[in-house]
Structure 1
Amino acid sequence: MKNFKRILKSNLILKITSLNTIVIAIRLVISLIIQRVLAVSFGEVGIAKIGQIRNLMQIITSTASLGTFNGIVKYVSEFTEKKEKLNRFFNTAFVFGFIGSFLSATIIFFRASWITQSLFGNLDFLELIKILAILPPVIAINMIFGGLINGLSDYKKYAKIELVSYLLSALLLLVFLYNYQLKGVLFSIILTPILHLFVILYIFGSTIKKHINVKNLKVEIPFAKEILGFTLMSFVSSILLNYVELDIRTTITNKISANEAGYWTAMTFISKNYMVFSSGLFTLYVIPKFARIHEGSVFKKEVIYIYKTLLPLFGLGMLLVYFFRKLVIEVVYPNFLGLEPLFKWQLIGDFIRLAALVVSHQFLAKKMVKTFIITEFLSLGLFYVLARYLVVVYGAEGVVMAHLYRYIIYFFIVILAVWNYFKRQKNNLGYE
């Protein structure tokens, strides 16, 4: 026991993971209860519609902030003590957020009918989509403050914010579900960013005042160029990804059935619940750590260290999910008979995805814009083409098969890309 405590104190990854585990375990239990309530209340078709609105929210999250989040994480981790430089950077980040929010809100409001028709096949939820137009400024501020939290690696406050925000949003969802059914659920999802902002200000407000002192909102060209790189990367990784998921869900609905679309959406919800264990680690630890590494040998050592610490834990967790998959379906998604065959493909794909994501975060840490965009395009292109082909043959199972095949190829691509990066760095240093 003493040895474990000593290891825990000396291992930042385990510190973050252990605290995250407590928070996410609570989130997981609540999420499973909510997913069961939603599945029983609305069935496969309702779950598919909820998946549509969640994908739309992810797209807006990226466009509203113009992808500033990862840029803020990188520069806060590198220039924590250089307050003047950070303030100038935040001035530019807030301008980007203002521009992104204005453009997002304008498009949502004036194209609400088209968006609603595209997502749901009718205009039943038009009013909800129009309400979305007021959210982009809130989302942009959330992303900027969230970038500061992660850049400082303040994992304790991060955990508090995530837990409190999730508890409040879950309560809101259940209240709106009880009173307004499916429209209420979708509306509560839309309101979640507002709750999240209040929680950030309450828990993290004093730290925000300490590090952000925005007096003159203006764009400074050097910082703007830096942020633009992250904007491009965010566009590819978030907007295109969610667009692809929206399109695939619509394809499943049109070519097979809405029930099959619901099975795949349910599987992605389960996946996101356990993959969220890693999301905080990437921004709190991996990006800040990689940003300070400049030698290939040190990078390799760090990746092996992360793998040795992280992969066994995730592998064990995924095995438990697989062996208890029937219980998970019975408890969370009763009567979702087509869900069980999806587990093996999704779980193996997610394990390989996790290994690949550790390495690919080097692209964000070092702002390797061109490499990031090329590898993401290849990844998304593979998934889109394979999923559209395999879904016709295997139904929803074909989509998760495509998920696995995509990440096997992607893993080798990112390894090769990072190896080439450090090889070029070594050659450049040798030349100088």
Structure 2
Amino acid sequence: MNLLKTSVLNGVAVLIKTATMFLLNKILAVYVGPAGYAAIGQFQNFIQMVTTFAGSAVNTAVVKYTAEYYDDEKKQKTVWQTAGSIVSIFSFIFTFLVLIFHQQLSFWIFKTEDYGSVLIWFAVFLIFFNLNALLLAILNGKKEILKLVFANIAGSLFSLFITGFLAVKLGLYGALVALCIYQSLNFIVTLYLCYRSEWFNFSYFIGKIDSDIAKKFLAFAAMALVSAICVPLSQMVIRSYLVHEYNVAYAGYWEAMIRLSAAYLMLVTTTLSVYYLPRLSELSNIQAIKAEVYLGYKFIFPLAVAGGVAVYLLKDWIIPLLFSSAFLPMRELFLWQMIGDSLKIGSWILAYLMLGKAMTKLFISTEIIFACSSIVLTYIFTQVFGFKGVSIAHVVNYALYWSVMGYFVFAVLKDRESRFGKE
């Protein structure tokens, strides 16, 4: 399936997901407010870290090797069986740990033990959360885009109805519980879609862990784990800094800005993961890889820029419509945030080569360096420019990141080609 067809099908799911995100933003803005946004952001970062350590770190590898072994069902089965066993084992380990330390974790995340029971909900549903992510990775690698689209649409609708209902009924507590369970419930839909496929068999997802496949997973797991630590932890540090430097409401404004960016960029980012990762995993010739990157800059990057311009021009209409008048202080973040978002997509088009080609050392080093630089730059620019400095730091960080990607990614590819020749 080519980039255009993938983008069109993916666009349907993205349109629905974007609409549900906008509706949820409005519900959360009304029922939890800016301070609640900050708490939700902290908890989402925690979920991202734990689910990655609990097994989802192998999902990028599952996409790559499912696509790479497209014509070899036996090898695909070995990949899935190894991944399923790893996910099951680590999910149960982390379920046990979260159940034991739920009160301490609540205090670390929320600065209060009042949400300890939320962590219990999360622990109970963790295994289903990770199995759903694994099946989505397999659908992606199998290039069953239509089923992947349906699964994503189901996830969006679950998110809207469950989060919306619980937030209205229980406020912030309900919204936090919804984050624990909606993707886990989506597992039922994803499982049904996979069950209807000819290649599916329950026995393919549990059994012996193949040592060779597990070794191949290590590079991707290392990248995912580093990313799961660096990105969420840096956001948590920045959010805590904003609370300390200003107040919790300002951390909420920044969280709302991040959510808005994620919503309008969703078509771009999901197309990168759904199309680019499997496609780049298949290619070995550097000229073919360059051609795919060129397509990304020809079609995907302009979409990101156009989206950013539109959001900036409509900011005074967007804030009260999608959030509430309580979020008006986030207005000063828009210009710099939109510029930074465009730079981010430009850099990500190249960064996906690191994942597709398992450039482990480069990925790990850049994740650590730029997660740290995002914190340092936020501190520097907020001291100079005030609150909008958090978005100015976003611009500078991704400008530097894109420069590094442009130089090092193709340098690594050329070095591999010179040493091993064209495959």
TM-score bracket, normalised by the shorter chain, equals over 0.9
Select which of 139, 143, 146 maps to 1:149: 139
Give distance in 2, aligned partners of 1:215 and 1:315: 41
**How far did residue 68 of structure 1 move?**
0.9
Partner of 1:345: 336
Q: Would you say 1:412 and 2:403 are equivalent positions?
A: yes
Query: Do the aligned partners of residues 94 and 22 (structure 1) sit closer, same or farther apart at CA in structure 2, a change above 3 Å counting?
Result: closer
Select which of 94, 99, 107 maps to 2:97: 107
**How far did residue 331 of structure 1 move?**
0.7
Select which of 393, 396, 417 maps to 1:402: 393
Partner of 1:224: 214
Select which of 215, 235, 251 maps to 2:241: 251
Partner of 2:77: 87
Summarize the alignment of residues 260-271 of structure 1 with structure 2, pairs less than 5 Å apart: 260-271=250-261
**How far did residue 294 of structure 1 move?**
1.8
Deviates further, 258-267 or 341-350: 341-350
Tell me if structure 2 keeps the 8 A contact 1:65–1:139: no
Q: Would you say 1:360 and 2:351 are equivalent positions?
A: yes
Tell me if structure 2 keeps the 8 A contact 1:267–1:339: yes
The number of aligned residues is 422
Listed one character per residue, the Cα deviations across residues 223-262 of structure 1 (whole Å, up to 9, x for unaligned) are: 1111111111011122321111112111111221011101
Select which of 361, 372, 378 maps to 1:381: 372
Query: Do the aligned partners of residues 263 and 238 (structure 1) sit closer, same or farther apart at CA in structure 2, a change above 3 Å counting?
Result: same
Give distance in 1, aligned partners of 2:343 and 2:143: 26
Tell me if structure 1 keeps the 8 A contact 2:304–2:341: no
Q: Given the two structures, how large is their TM-score scaled by the length of structure 2?
A: 0.94
Partner of 2:321: 331
Give distance in 1, aligned partners of 2:192 and 2:348: 32
Select which of 19, 37, 40 maps to 1:29: 19
Give distance in 2, aligned partners of 1:430 and 1:14: 31
Give distance in 1, aligned partners of 2:160 and 2:56: 27
**How far did residue 351 of structure 1 move?**
0.9
**How far did residue 148 of structure 1 move?**
0.5
**How far did residue 430 of structure 1 move?**
6.0
Select which of 243, 268, 283 maps to 1:278: 268
Query: Do the aligned partners of residues 386 and 26 (structure 1) sit closer, same or farther apart at CA in structure 2, a change above 3 Å counting?
Result: same
Partner of 1:7: none
Give distance in 1, aligned partners of 2:132 and 2:329: 37
Give distance in 2, aligned partners of 1:123 and 1:366: 43
Q: Would you say 1:236 and 2:226 are equivalent positions?
A: yes
Tell me if structure 2 keeps the 8 A contact 1:355–1:411: yes
Partner of 1:8: none
Q: Given the two structures, how large is their TM-score scaled by the length of structure 1?
A: 0.92
Tell me if structure 2 keeps the 8 A contact 1:56–1:242: yes
Query: Do the aligned partners of residues 430 and 25 (structure 1) sit closer, same or farther apart at CA in structure 2, a change above 3 Å counting?
Result: closer
